[in-house]
Structure 1
Amino acid sequence: MKDLRRRVVNAGSRAGARLRRVEWSIRARMTMLATLVTAVLSVFAVWLVLDHHHQHETTHRIRHVYGADLEMVHRFAHRRVPPVIDVEAVAATQLVDRAGRVVSASVRVIGQPRMATFVPSRRPSATDRRLCDVPGFPGRCMIVAAMWVPALGGDLVAYSALPDPLWYGSEALLAQLLAAMAILLVIVAVGTYQLVGRTLRPVEAMTAELAEITTTDLGHRVPVPAHHDEIRYLATVVNDTLELLEAALRRERRFTAEASHDLRTPITGAILRLEEALVDPDAADWPRMAKDLLSDVERQQAIAEDILTLARLDADRTAQHEHTDLAELARIELRRRLPGRVPIRTDLQPGVVVSCDRLLIARLLANLLDNAQRHAATAVTIAVRAEDGTGVMAVFDDGAGIAPEHREIVFERFARLPESRERDPKGTGLGLAICREIAHAHRGTLTIEDPGQGTCLVLRMPLVN
């Protein structure tokens, strides 16, 4: 009993700890996932902003350099060109003749070679290029626009240049975007952590309730959320498991109490008889006392064997299962039996093959036959047949039968009806309980069906495909 309770309590404690680990794991994973996705999307958004800003700034500067070239066209068309040009909208300008000589230039590039060698393909026309290491601007890339200027003394090519904008626009813009992205990531991380925590609040309540099992009793149940989702399903499964554990503990407690009572009664009787005999040894009927004591010991031995059988049924015996013909097993068991109070008739259909532990099914059949022969009026019948994918073994007696309200009670441990106590005073009340446990161990059922007169116990087991 204490061992079962300890296992149940430990199971509740482990389940609570596991739920806590699951909760923190989900929180951490969801927070990291949301933050990672937000970070990727933020990087993509920042790149789009910077790319748009770069394209906009490039287009704006191209317009400026073309504007500077047009200004020179208006200022020097068919006029003499001064050696120094003053154009504020751009970083540098040059006027180059057809021979490639710099005729005029802005202050920044006076004395420098021509900024570019490309010229518009036709006149009048203009073109632009992105050039790096332009004279006067070492280590920089520039946007340079070229346009024909019909100046006095011959056509010239006007070059205007502005620095190519940086890919990140400016340090201030990049800092603002990174700061906004960092703030967004913090908000998403904190928000996701809190949101997941609120979503998993029912799990926290379940964890707290499971922890109570370690300090109180097994009557606790975890709260079931109102909304239908996976957490509700988890809570339902946990409550069902706790119900099964509590039922198992109740059965174990009842079994222990009943077993101790049935074992204590013959021991107490034996002690009383021995004490009375020792008071007056000469008057004691020692042979009769020995006979009574032997009867008590035999009853204790029967109870102990039945209890051990029930304990063994809790172990996994699937390794001992083998394909068995129920009809053949019944014939072998009948050949081993001694003649009883009433004859046993048979109706055995061959070929009803199931997977079972032969020893346990033989024990079940022997118990059913013993029980049927004690209560039968004239005969006992055993039948084997296949029915709806199951193998059926039925044991029928034509006795007084069992009242419908008692047909489940007789399968309880140590349960004995008055008629049974009269017919078998030495019985343990564990025979049918053992039979049902054997049936359950084979994924089968053992029930009492109504034959009209008498009692019919029916074992059903899955057939081998």
Structure 2
Amino acid sequence: MAIGVLGLSVGLALGGMLLLGALGWTLQRTVDAEALRTADAVALLADSDALPDPLPVAGGQLRVQVVDEAGRIRAASIDADRLVPMLRPDQLRAGQRQRLVVDGRRVGLSGPVRVVTVPAGTPAEPLTVLVAKSLTDVRHSLHVVRTLLLVGFPLLVVGLAVVAWRVVGATLRPVEALRSGAAEITDRAGPGRLPVPAARDEIQRLAVTLNDMLDRLAAARARQRAFVADAAHELRSPLTNMRTELEVARRLGDATDWPAVAEDLLADTERLGRLVDDLLLLARLDEQPARPDAPSRTLGPVELGELLGGVAARYPSPPVRLVPPAGSRWTEGDPGELHRVLTNLVDNALRHARGEVLLAVTGPEPAGPVPGQRGAGPGERAYHVVTVTDDGPGIPAADRERVFQRFTRLDDARARDAGGAGLGLAIVRELVRRAGGTLTVSDAVPDPAAGGGPGLRVSVRLPALVEPEAD
């Protein structure tokens, strides 16, 4: 604030100097204009050889003389000297218009006097008109203005400094409250909220935005802690199993069935490897959410019928059965990510299916106008729908959103030895979102003849793409 007051003072000082200069120049021009106007009028009288005596002058502050080439006074105003010219011979230049400042005592006035000269007469008898006007009023006016500036300038600066201090202080008080609140939150390293000012201004909106950011950070921190705790628990389980098996084998000594121990350790190692791979994939998805230009992604046209066939070939038939699509079904995405989506869905379905897992793809289905989308009508986006249906017990409607959360396993799944870590469906949702699609869960159509349960159908809607050869 001190710098601001200093800059204001410098600006006001420069403004005052410019004001004085402009006022002095204007008043001087006014004096010159009045004197020259009178001199030109007297010169016209001299040119017409009609000089009266005394010379007529408007105003008591003017003195007028008409002198000849020899310096003799030929005519004068009533209050002008008739013996001594206003200018000395060395100051007077015949035939030229002049503006001079002389001592007022030579003219009979107090203070400095402005004298103007105008040539007059004929070439045979040249004359010069001298007009003098006192500058006392000009000097007095400048003195009054200068005094007012010298007295008012400090008062104005002090007043503006006080106002600026109060205004800036009132403006920065909410900022200081925000800073104190942020420091308090940082010191206790926990959740908290910043004080929100009552005034509806930029500071209030800043406080609301910062509180929203703190809420999101707190939620992210809570999710991270839960994620780390769940990950540690899931990693501890296979490690504990491996440690237990090794300790038992060491205690039994030669009686240990080492091939069985190796099989168990290999199963736990594979489970641990799958868990680590899933954690790394989720971390990479969190770091690069749906970035098409990510270097690890290979985007291109993918034929869904061929993709489903490749996934179904990894499993025995039955229980996995593929319904061949009628024609090609093209979408655009990362083939590896889409293959991972279908593999996770099939693995999850197999863990719960009683007799059969059905793979199918339909479409394209329109889903509202979206400008510039390929594979549908003008300006219309279309989707292919990939479904994975099992005939297991299904999922209650209240749990269908929860199963897509990380490390979430329903009680039935957790009771199985082959149950996953609860990351498969979470990975599926993130990958489908990156592909520009959506994921829904619904009941499968029951088949009473098969004697199965209600079943579960997972539908993956992916953006449709026309066949590459048709481009």
TM-score (norm 1): 0.68
Equivalent position of 2:426 in the other structure: 433
Shift of residue 406, structure 1, vs aligned partner: 0.8
Residue aligning to 1:102: 73
Distance 1:88 1:334, change over 3 A: closer
- Structure 2 vs 1, CA of residues 371 and 106 (structure 1 numbering), >3 Å: closer, same or farther? farther
Counterparts of 1:462 and 1:189, CA distance in 2: 65
Which ranges in structure 2 are unaligned for 5 or more consecutive residues?
A: 42-50, 75-80, 107-111, 121-126, 368-380, 446-453, 467-471
Q: 1:110–1:294: structure 2 CA closer, same or farther, 3 Å change rule?
A: closer
CA distance in 2, matches of 1:266, 1:221: 41
- 236-245 or 190-199, which moves further after superposition? 190-199
Deviations along 1:130-187, one digit per CA (max 9) or x if unpaired, are: 72377999xx9935488x9xxxxxxx98743125687996366336436645654564
Equivalent of 2:403, from 400, 406, 410? 410
Tell me the C-alpha RMSD between the 2 structures.
5.0
Partner residue in 2 for 1:13 = none
Task: Decide which of 249, 255, 269 is 1:297's aligned counterpart.
Answer: 269
- Displacement after TM superposition at 1:322 (Å): 1.6
Q: Is the 8 A contact 1:131 1:142 kept in 2?
A: yes
Distance in 2 separating the partners of 1:307 and 1:362: 18
* Residue among 313, 318, 337 paired with 1:360: 337
Normalising by structure 2, we get a TM-score of 0.67
Aligned counterparts of 2:6 and 2:327: Cα–Cα separation in 1: 69
Question: What residue in structure 2 maps to residue 8 of structure 1?
Answer: none
- Equivalence map 1:18-417=2 (5 Å): 47=18, 51=22, 55=26, 59=30, 89=61, 93-96=64-67, 101-103=72-74, 105=82, 109=86, 112=89, 131-132=99-100, 142-144=114-116, 159-162=130-133, 170=142, 173-174=145-146, 176-177=148-149, 180-181=152-153, 184=156, 187-188=159-160, 191-192=163-164, 194-316=166-288, 318-319=294-295, 320-325=297-302, 327=304, 330-331=307-308, 333-334=310-311, 336-340=313-317, 341-347=319-325, 350=328, 352-354=330-332, 356-376=333-353, 377-386=355-364, 387-388=366-367, 389=381, 391-399=383-391, 400-417=393-410
Are the counterparts in 1 of residues 23 and 142 from structure 2 also a CA contact under 8 Å? Answer: no
Contact persistence 1:133–1:141 (CA under 8 A): yes
| Cα distance change, pair 58–309 in 1 and its aligned pair in 2 (3 A) | closer
Q: CA deviation at 1:403?
A: 0.8
Inter-CA distance 237–328: structure 2 relative to 1 (3 Å threshold): farther
Higher RCO structure, 1 or 2 (CA under 8 Å, sep 6+): 1
Q: Secondary structure at the match of 2:418?
A: coil
State the shift of 1:50 in Å. Answer: 6.0
> Residue 446 of structure 1 aligns with which residue?
439
> What is the match of residue 21 of structure 1?
none
- Asked if the contact 1:130–1:141 (Cα under 8 Å) also holds between the matched residues in 2, the reply is no
Between the aligned partners of 2:135 and 2:52, the Cα distance in structure 1 is 29
Given that 1:224 and 1:235 are in contact with CA atoms closer than 8 Å, whether structure 2 keeps it comes out as: yes
| More deviation, 207-216/247-256 | 207-216
Letter in 1 for 2:323: R
Cα offset, 1:367, TM superposition:
0.6
Q: CA distance change for structure 1 residues 246 and 338 in 2, over 3 Å: closer, same or farther?
A: same
Cα deviation, residue 363, structure 1? 0.9
Give 1:373's aligned amino acid. Answer: L
Number of matched residues?
A: 410
Unaligned runs of 5+ in 1: 1-26, 71-75, 81-86, 120-128, 149-155
- Which whole-Å CA distance do the structure 2 matches of 1:193 and 1:463 have between them? 64
CA pair 331-269 structure 1, distance change in 2 beyond 3 A: closer
Secondary structure of the corresponding residue to residue 109 of structure 1: coil
Distance 2:238 2:53 in 1: 138
Query: Distance between the aligned counterparts of 2:65 and 2:33, measured in 1?
Result: 16
Structure 1, residues 248-275: CA drift from partner, whole Å, max 9, x if none?
A: 2212211221122122223223333433
**Paired residue type of 2:244:** L
- Separation of aligned partners in 2, 1:79 and 1:167: 29
